[in-house]
């Protein structure tokens, strides 16, 4: 009898005492080659790589990213987009005037160039937004991480403190604070007034995520290896819980910009000598019928910026949620 196996024959004794010849096939002729093979060239995959692969295929990501990049360039380099001084070239004879040569969007009630004021006001609105986000994210991570990871009385104290701040609408609190500090209306004061009361949402989201992650197997393995609880929190739990914070931070940035504009519109925000979209909207509210462009144009700039950040946050949220990706 012939056999296809080319390996060396081996004498073996079977059940019942009968001897026979057993042919051992070389490893490369068996299916074990495919089973035991290690795919060295296979690409690594994790949450962040999968999220990037998802967002790069979505048009809304590129649209919102392009708008945010444009707004950031305008805020950082306003001189590239306009050479007209926003306040030094105001002529009352041009009050509420329409577009003219060198002034594509017309003039404000004080005869100032609307386009120049929108461009130079971008940095103020974005500065308030970023300062608020840095403050709220820092406080939210500190309170949420310690409350969720350590639990017990630490969780009870920090959570109740967060509930107290969460029960106070941050817009209302900012109105009260800015009314008291009417002589100190600046970018820093309004940012602190908003940020001090806006962090509980971030803390709650992070706390709930840490409560889910801290019982994972890799956390128990780190504990068995003798790592301190603080190192486990810093190196393992927090990096694996930070994704929802990134999403809420992106969306909250838009909320901070709107909050500054709202406070300035109400007359308790930035000083009238500081250019911002909220101040321009406030100063133009009485001229809506006679010169609607003085109010509509800054409002469009505000709306486009807020739309860009919210859209980016929505895209990132869907990309960092594996369940949402599976449903698409």
pLDDT tens digits, 208-222: 999 988 888 888 888
**pLDDT tops 80 at residue 316:** yes
**pLDDT tops 90 at residue 157:** yes
71-82 average pLDDT score: 91
Number of domains in the chain: 1
Which stretch of 34-38, 225-229, 246-250, 259-263 has the lowest confidence by average pLDDT? 34-38
Q: What is the pLDDT of residue 110?
A: 85
Which stretch of 99-113, 251-265, 313-327 has the lowest confidence by average pLDDT? 313-327
Helix segments in the chain, DSSP class H: 32-36, 47-55, 59-76, 78-81, 114-150, 152-166, 170-180, 187-195, 200-213, 217-224, 229-232, 243-265, 277-284, 293-319, 322-327
90: Cα separation from own chain's centroid: 38
**pLDDT tops 90 at residue 53:** no
**pLDDT tops 90 at residue 182:** no
pTM, 2 dp: 0.79
* Residue 175 forms part of a structural domain: yes
The burial class, CB within 10 Å (0-12 / 13-18 / 19+), for 289 is: exposed
Q: What is the pLDDT of residue 34?
A: 55
Q: What is the pLDDT of residue 127?
A: 93
**pLDDT tops 60 at residue 307:** yes
Best CA proximity match to 200, nearest among 243, 153, 164: 164
Query: Do the Cβ atoms of 5 and 25 come closer than 8 Å?
Result: yes
CA-derived radius of gyration, the chain? 31
* Residue 163 forms part of a structural domain: yes
* Residue 299 forms part of a structural domain: yes
256-264 average pLDDT score: 91
* Residue 189 forms part of a structural domain: yes
| Domain with 321 in it | 116-327
31-57 average pLDDT score: 65
Which stretch of 207-216, 249-258, 312-321 has the lowest confidence by average pLDDT? 312-321
* Residue 134 forms part of a structural domain: yes
180: Cβ contacts below 8 Å, ≥ 6 apart: none
127-150 average pLDDT score: 93
Q: What is the pLDDT of residue 56?
A: 85
30-36 average pLDDT score: 54
24: pLDDT confidence band, cut at 50, 70 and 90?
low
* Residue 169 forms part of a structural domain: yes
Which stretch of 2-16, 231-245, 255-269 has the lowest confidence by average pLDDT? 2-16
**Average model confidence (pLDDT) for the chain?**
83
**pLDDT tops 50 at residue 315:** yes
* Residue 277 forms part of a structural domain: yes
Q: What is the pLDDT of residue 259?
A: 92
| C-alpha dihedral sign at 30, 31, 32, 38 | positive
Best CA proximity match to 328, nearest among 133, 45, 27, 55: 55
Residue 99 CA to residue 162 CA, distance in Å, equals: 50
183: pLDDT confidence band, cut at 50, 70 and 90?
confident
* Residue 93 forms part of a structural domain: no
Q: What is the CATH number of the domain that holds 262?
A: 1.10.3720.10
The burial class, CB within 10 Å (0-12 / 13-18 / 19+), for 317 is: middle
Q: What is the pLDDT of residue 1?
A: 47
* Terminal C-alpha separation, the chain: 58
């Amino acid at each position: 009898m012939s056999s296809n196996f080319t390996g060396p024959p081996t004498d073996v004794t079977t059940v019942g005492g009968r001897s026979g010849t057993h042919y051992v096939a070389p490893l490369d002729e068996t299916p074990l080659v495919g089973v035991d093979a290690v795919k060295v060239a296979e690409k690594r995959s994790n949450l962040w790589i999968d999220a990037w692969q998802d967002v790069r295929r979505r048009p809304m990501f590129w649209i919102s990213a392009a708008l945010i990049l444009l707004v950031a360039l305008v805020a950082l380099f306003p001189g590239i987009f306009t050479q007209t001084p926003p306040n030094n070239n105001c002529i009352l004879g041009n009050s509420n005037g329409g577009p003219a040569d060198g002034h594509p969007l017309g003039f404000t009630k004080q005869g100032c160039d609307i386009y120049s004021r929108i461009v130079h006001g971008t940095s103020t609105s974005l500065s308030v937004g970023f300062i608020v986000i840095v403050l709220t994210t820092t406080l939210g991570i500190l309170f949420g991480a310690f409350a969720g990871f350590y639990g017990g009385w630490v969780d009870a104290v920090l959570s109740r403190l967060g509930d107290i701040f969460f029960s106070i609408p941050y817009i209302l609190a900012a109105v009260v604070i800015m009314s008291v500090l009417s002589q100190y209306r600046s970018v820093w004061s309004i940012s602190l007034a908003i940020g001090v009361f806006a962090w509980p949402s971030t803390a709650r989201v992070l706390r709930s995520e840490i409560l889910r992650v801290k019982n994972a197997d890799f956390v128990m393995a780190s504990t068995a290896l003798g790592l301190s609880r603080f190192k486990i929190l810093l190196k393992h739990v927090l990096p694996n819980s930070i994704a929802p914070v990134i999403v809420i931070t992106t969306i909250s940035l838009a909320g901070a910009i709107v909050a500054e504009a709202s406070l300035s519109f109400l007359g308790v925000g930035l000083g009238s000598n500081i250019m911002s979209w909220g101040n321009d909207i406030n100063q133009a509210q009485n001229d809506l019928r006679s010169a609607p462009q003085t109010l509509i144009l800054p409002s469009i700039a505000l709306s486009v910026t807020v739309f860009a950040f919210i859209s980016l946050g929505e895209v990132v949220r869907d990309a960092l949620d594996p369940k949402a990706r599976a449903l698409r």
